[in-house]
Chain A
Amino acid sequence: GIQVEQSPPDLILQEGANSTLRCNFSDSVNNLQWFHQNPWGQLINLFYIPSGTKQNGRLSATTVATERYSLLYISSSQTTDSGVYFCAVLDDKIIFGKGTRLHILP
């Protein structure tokens, strides 16, 4: 099955910094999503982005399907951005990466 790898596994940044999170996948996918799991455990949809670029406020994402990776950009980080960011792809089932744990310091 498809392998999904996320990097870095952990990231600590000062409030106001920018960050780039990466998701690599081992085969072609038709479906890729980014989620944020907040410190209370809630999983929040960020982007459904099988290809191309999307932006939502301070967050944007780009998927280059032909090169099998996706990037999530967070600009001007806030403490509320802390949590774990997951990418997930659809093969015959949904496969999640292990996530990037982001900690934003005030």
Chain B
Amino acid sequence: DSGVTQTPKHLITATGQRVTLRCSPRSGDLSVYWYQQSLDQGLQFLIQYYNGEERAKGNILERFSAQQFPDLHSELNLSSLELGDSALYFCASSPGRNEQYFGPGTRLTVT
């Protein structure tokens, strides 16, 4: 158990819908990272937050947004969902710019 929690574990929704994925980092970790893992794209970095502020941006679509709250949990919002958004979404946390610990992931299926 990495200490990072993600909810829900599984999510099935229809095209055009909006979903919110939630992540709670390890106690004391200020950085939260979001990743998407799909069969054809591998593990792609989406976005990083550090202590509530956006720190780095990767291959995140404009339909996707994230935020980190004062209690350090983070949410990833995915809107206008398309079939191609079906993937495993991971959250990771770290105390700074070093070792990352991954949550169990949320498996999103868009039908």
Interface positions of A (Cβ within 8 A of B): 30-31, 33, 35, 41-45, 48, 86, 88, 90, 92-96, 98-99
Interface positions of B (Cβ within 8 A of A): 2, 33, 42-45, 48, 56-58, 88, 90, 97-102, 104-105, 107
Would you give the shortest CB distance from A70 to chain B, in whole angstroms? 15
Cross-chain contact A35 with B102 (CB below 8 angstroms): yes
Q: Of A30, A42, A94, A95, which one neighbours B100 at CB under 8 angstroms? A: A94
Chain A residues whose CB sits within 8 angstroms of the CB of B102 once the complex forms: 35, 42-45
Cross-chain contact B105 with A95 (CB below 8 angstroms): no
Given A41-B105, A42-B104, A93-B56, also A99-B99 (CB < 8 A): no
Given A41-B88, A41-B107, A43-B90, also A95-B45 (CB < 8 A): yes
Given A31-B97, A43-B102, A93-B58, 11 extra CB contacts under 8 A: A41-B107, A45-B100, A45-B101, A45-B102, A48-B98, A86-B43, A90-B97, A90-B98, A93-B45, A93-B48, A93-B57
